[in-house]
Amino acid sequence: MILLAPLVAALVCAAALTYAHLALPQQTLISDYALVPGGMAPVMIGTLALAAGCVFLAYGLTVREPGRTAATRLLLIAAAGGLMLSALFPTDPGPATSLSGEVHRWAAAVVFTSLPVAGWTLVRGRAPLPRWNLVRSLVVTAVVALAVYLAAHPAALTSPFIGGEAYYGLLERAVVVADVALVVAMGVAASLDNRLPTQIPVVTRESRPAPAAPADRAKAA
């Protein structure tokens, strides 16, 4: 059941960010909602809820598949750390760059890159079952959405050529939705996997065969 905790965390995250989107003045980026009155709480709740989902997922994978999921767990913990830092260090209100804004940007970069790679490491070598195919599809979706978002961001050289300033905020929301869905899909897929951690059989003294009697050895000879 611990692997289903990311689903609960994702619902809390989605509810908090949806509230910010509907109840607060429209902002370009999700992190900008933390700068308006009443926006800090829902942004922090949503961000920290997703961080908790990543931690729960990493713990569940530790219990379920400790051998093959080491890289996935490391990336999930990195994403959780990035989410917590991005919640604690708000973005800058304008073009000026502060230490808090720099920490926020780099933390977000860690989150947006760690989660798709975590999904890829988790599904690598898995059977083509529907639940794992969904994770693969969400990995591709998250990577494509991130690539287009980076190309459309006003700081990118490609932004003026594709008019990215008009819609890069929408692309950021697409990246966040893909990442949240990916965390949920990874948790559900892993929870439905029936494989248990490999256990090495221990030979006890009681399980060893008794030595043959002298008469039996003579007959065998």
d(CA 91, CA 34): 8
Per the CB < 8 A criterion, the answer to whether 63 and 69 are in contact is: no
Of 196, 178, 78, 82, the closest CA to residue 135 belongs to 178
CA separation, residue 102 to residues 111, 158, 203 (Å): 14, 22, 57
Question: Looking at residue 213, what is its pLDDT?
Answer: 55
Average pLDDT of the chain, as a whole number: 86
CA separation, residue 37 to residues 22, 28, 114 (Å): 14, 16, 31
* pTM to 2 decimal places: 0.83
- The confidence band for 183, taking pLDDT boundaries of 50, 70 and 90, is very high
C-alpha atoms less than 13 angstroms from C-alpha of 127 in its C-beta half-sphere: 9
Q: Which tens digits make up the pLDDT trace of 200-220?
A: 344 445 545 555 555 555 554
Using the predicted structure, report yes or no on whether residue 142 has a pLDDT greater than 80: yes
Using the predicted structure, report yes or no on whether residue 42 has a pLDDT greater than 90: yes
Q: Which tens digits make up the pLDDT trace of 87-106?
A: 999 888 877 688 988 999 99
Using the predicted structure, report yes or no on whether residue 190 has a pLDDT greater than 80: yes
Per the CB < 8 A criterion, the answer to whether 30 and 17 are in contact is: yes
Residue 46 backbone zone (phi > 0: left; psi -120 to 50: alpha; other: beta): alpha
Question: Looking at residue 167, what is its pLDDT?
Answer: 92
